[in-house]
Amino acid sequence: MTDIDYPALAREAGLPRVGARQPLPAYLKETWERRHFAMRLARYRIEAQLSQNRLGLFWVVLNPLLQAAVYGFVFGLIMDRGSRAGLNFIPFLVTGFFCFQFFSNSFNQGAKSITGNASLVRSLGFPRILLPLSAVFRNVYELVPMMVVLSFILVGFGERPSWTWLLVPPILFLFGMFNVGVALIAARLTVHLRDVTQMVPIITRLVLYMTGIFYSLEQVLADNPPWMLTLAQLNPVHDYIQLVRTMVLEGQEVNTLIVVMAFVGAIGFFIAGIVFFWSAEERYGRD
C-alpha cells in the first residue's frame, strides 16, 4: 500500500494549510476589519487594572504626575541649574514625562502582548498583530486625559494657549506610529527570545536619560562638538517630545533634522514593524 502525500493532495485541491500566513495585503485587510477587537481589549485592560482602586481612572493621570513630581524634585535639586536655565521647568518636565510615558508603556506592554496572551493566541484564529496594536491603543486612551491635565498645568504656570497647540495631535499621531513599530518589533523578539523581556526596562531607562526629560539637550550639549547634539537628535523619542514642547512652551525650538527624523522614525518603524511581525505570524503560539 503506497503512502498518500496528503500535503501535495491538499495543494492540488486548493485547500489552504491551517494557520498558514496570509499575504500581507489580506493580512492588513483582516486586521482593519477586526480593529474594534483591539480597541475594546485596550479599554477592558484599563478598566480591569484600575477597577480595584478607590480612585479608579484617576490613576491614569495621577500615577505619571507623581512620578514626574519625584523626578522633578530629585533632579531639580541636584542638577546644575544651568541645564534648565530659562526654562519654565514644571511644564517642561511634565510635558516631557507625559509624552515619554506614552512611549515607555507602549514599548513595555507591546513586548509582552503575545507572550502574555498565550492562551488567547493558541485558542483563537485572528491576526496576532491586533495584540500589540491593542497595547498601543491602551496608551492612546490613557494619553488623552493626560494631555487635558497638561493643558491646565501649562496655563497654571504661565504658558498662554496659542494656535500651535493644535499641532500637538498630529505630532502625537506620528509618535503613535513610531510606538506601533517599536511594539511590533519588541513583541516578535520577545516570542523568539524571552530574555528580551528582561532587557526592556533597561532599554527604557536608558532612553529616558538620553531623551532630555529633565533637562534641555540643546543647552547641555551647547558647548560640546556639534556632532554630539546631532547624534542626540537622531533619537526619534527626543524629537517627538521636543516637537510637542515647541508647540506648547515658549522659548523651545526645533530644526530641520528633528522634523525629518520625526517623519522618518514614524514611517520607517511603522512599516518595518508590520513586515517584521507579519513575517513570523505562523510561529506565534507555537514557540
pLDDT band of residue 62 (cuts 50, 70, 90) is confident
Q: Which of 125-134, 159-168, 218-227, 276-285 has the lowest mean pLDDT?
A: 218-227
Cα distance between residue 110 and residue 99, in whole Å: 17
Mean pLDDT over 228-248 rounds to 91
Place of cell 516578535: 188
Which has the closest alpha carbon to 280: 128, 122, 106? 128
Query: Do residues 180 and 271 touch, judged by C-beta distance below 8 A?
Result: no
Cα distance between residue 76 and residue 213, in whole Å: 12
pTM (predicted TM-score): 0.87
Q: Under 8 Å CB-to-CB from 81, ≥6 apart: which residues?
A: none
Q: Percentage helix, strand, coil, to 5, in the chain?
A: 75, 0, 25
| pLDDT at 11 > cutoff 50 | yes
Each residue's pLDDT tens digit, 180-235: 999 999 999 998 888 788 888 899 988 988 888 888 887 777 777 888 888 888 99
Mean pLDDT over 76-96 rounds to 70
Query: Do residues 207 and 235 touch, judged by C-beta distance below 8 A?
Result: yes
Cα distance between residue 150 and residue 95, in whole Å: 7
Cα distance between residue 17 and residue 24, in whole Å: 16
Which has the closest alpha carbon to 248: 171, 175, 168? 168
Cα distance between residue 233 and residue 238, in whole Å: 7
